[in-house]
């Protein structure tokens, strides 16, 4: 039994979907750094950064970082199909999202963390510039990895792309600039095993 710390509309949607596809039981704990309460207190005990998703194994082992969790699940449970046997492109795509898209979203959400004596106007300029950069990253991802996505049999890469592209206006940008890729993301979310999860996270 796994324990998944997360919140609606967060990266925990990808991990919840992966656990469901792999047929692995888990207990969900509602927790987020922006929501004080017992869930956040419990999260901080296992992850001092209070980042979600955080996955805790039955023996107490803690896994953080969405891409790392997905890679571990795919390697530990190969029959799940989360990570293909020829995994080079999938691993590259997962790290691309983590290193570029996920990182940019952190700056968009909290620009003051990356600016000394950050006034509101400066924060907005940082946010606007980073958002433009994020959308460029998604264009690059669509061009380089879109053709390999399999919406009828989603694995780790499909799940992370569908989840992280939900933030900071990326979907609206992709609908206009990469409509075929945008359609793939919608197909991934509609896969019967995970459709209810995505509807709950993004009603």
- Domains of the chain in start order, with CATH, are 2-80 (3.40.30.10), 88-197 (1.20.1050)
Q: What is the pTM of this model?
A: 0.95
Residues 168-178 have pLDDT tens digits of 999 999 999 99
Q: What average pLDDT does this structure show over 117-140?
A: 97
- pLDDT exceeds cutoff 90 at 32: no
Distances, alpha carbon 134 to alpha carbons 94, 129, 153, 167, in Å: 15, 9, 27, 10
Structure confidence at residue 33 as a pLDDT band (50, 70, 90): confident
Residue 106 CA, chain-centre distance (Å), reads 12
Residues 77-124 have pLDDT tens digits of 999 999 999 999 999 999 999 999 999 999 999 999 999 999 999 999
Give me 57's structure tokens. 């194994």
- From the list 169, 171, 173, the residue with the least C-alpha distance to 189 is 171
């Amino acid at each position: 039994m796994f324990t998944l710390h997360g919140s609606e509309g967060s990266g925990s949607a990808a991990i919840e979907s992966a656990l469901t596809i792999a047929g692995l039981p888990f207990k969900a704990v509602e927790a987020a750094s922006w929501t004080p309460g017992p869930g956040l207190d419990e999260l901080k005990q296992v992850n001092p950064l209070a980042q979600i998703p955080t996955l805790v194994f039955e023996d107490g082992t803690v896994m953080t970082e969405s891409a790392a969790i997905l890679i571990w699940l795919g390697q530990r449970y190969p029959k799940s199909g989360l990570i293909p046997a020829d995994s080079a492109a999938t691993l590259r795509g997962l790290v691309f999202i983590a290193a570029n898209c996920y990182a940019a979203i952190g700056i968009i959400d909290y620009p003051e963390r990356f600016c000394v004596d950050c006034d509101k106007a400066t924060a907005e300029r940082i946010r606007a510039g980073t958002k433009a950069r994020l959308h460029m990253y998604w264009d690059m991802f669509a061009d380089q990895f879109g053709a390999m996505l399999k919406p009828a049999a989603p694995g780790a890469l499909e799940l992370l792309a569908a989840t992280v592209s939900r933030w900071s206006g990326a979907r609206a940008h992709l609908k206009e600039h990469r409509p075929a890729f945008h359609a793939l993301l919608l197909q991934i979310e509609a896969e019967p095993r995970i459709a209810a999860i995505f509807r709950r996270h993004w009603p």
